[in-house]
Amino acid sequence: MPVQVPETMKRIVHFGSRNYGQLTAGRRMLPQFLICGGQRCGTTSLYRALAAHPAVIKAVLHKGVHYFDVGYHHGLRWYRGHFPLQRRAERVRAEFGVPAQTFESSPYYMYHPHALARIAADLPGVRLVVLVRDPVERAYSQHAHEVARGFEPEVEFARALELEQERLDGQRDKLLADPFAYSFAHQHHAYRARGEYIEYIEPMARLLGRDRIHVIDSSEFFERPEPVYDAVVEFLGLPHVNSYPLFDRHNARPRNRLDDSIAQQLAAHYAPYDERLANFLGYKPSWMRQ
């Protein structure tokens, strides 16, 4: 039976590790790629699959560091302290003959109004991996997730959607005006807004370059993970290996069926955004082909 580590002990270990990480930051790696969203689109599953690649070394403590969104005030040395020491990368190069890569996954990066510009400035050459799914299902999944985590008091999805505009009113402007401001509602209650993928992917392409962005349809990833995984490996310049990692769905939450009228209203809202996304990708994502 596995031993349960008390939360207090976990916090002490993490605090000590972060302090040691900062002290040794000059000898640590910075990420070559990031999974930056979208939320509830399979980012955890892809993170674990990529972390199993022999030429990839994941972040030391958490899959999501949240530096470029809510932790930027800590500074780059703090961020670097979350990643592996260069000597681990040298061992990977010696074993596989290719440079090791490290990464993290913070889904709020795609939506936060400052994150992409910060990434472009601090990580020149970084590659971004983005996952998208049916935005109607994504919104419903996010609501269940926020309720389960205690971040959403409105247990009825319809009511949370009604409150969204009021909750988010002025929050983006507040964040833009103060680079170190924080908005709980912006991070946790943007159910409809976060599914407007193209609103965030287009600026991402302008800032970093289209060739440094790889968009994945999460439905295709879960249905046929091997070719999707192969395409990501190719995009990242990682060597192909003889076996695949274990593909699984993580953080899935049981939910009741979404009410048809709500689904139709959301689908109508997303239609113009989905058309723009299809034009950007050069093909229709899975939910538009159904």
* pLDDT given at position 252: 65
CATH number of the domain bearing residue 127: 3.40.50.300
First to last CA, the chain: 45
Tokens representing 94 are 């010696």
Tokens representing 9 are 């002990």
| Residue 209 within any structural domain of the chain | yes
* pLDDT given at position 249: 73
| Residue 280 within any structural domain of the chain | yes
| Residue 6 within any structural domain of the chain | no
* pLDDT given at position 248: 81
Number of Cβ within 10 Å of residue 276's Cβ equals: 16
Provide, rounded to the nearest whole percent, the portion of the chain with pLDDT above 90: 78
| Residue 168 within any structural domain of the chain | yes
* pLDDT given at position 251: 63
**264: exposed, middle or buried (Cβ count in 10 Å: 0-12, 13-18, 19+):** exposed
Contact 266, 250 (CB under 8 A): no
| Residue 215 within any structural domain of the chain | yes
Question: Which domain covers residue 146, as residue numbers?
Answer: 23-289
Regions of the chain where pLDDT drops below 50: 1-3, 5, 7, 9-17, 20
CA distance 35 to 122: 16
Tokens representing 134 are 């049916």
Contact 285, 278 (CB under 8 A): yes
- The total number of structural domains in the chain stands at 1
Number of Cβ within 10 Å of residue 201's Cβ equals: 23
CA 3 to chain centre: 30
Residues in the chain: 290
* pLDDT given at position 272: 98
| Residue 12 within any structural domain of the chain | no
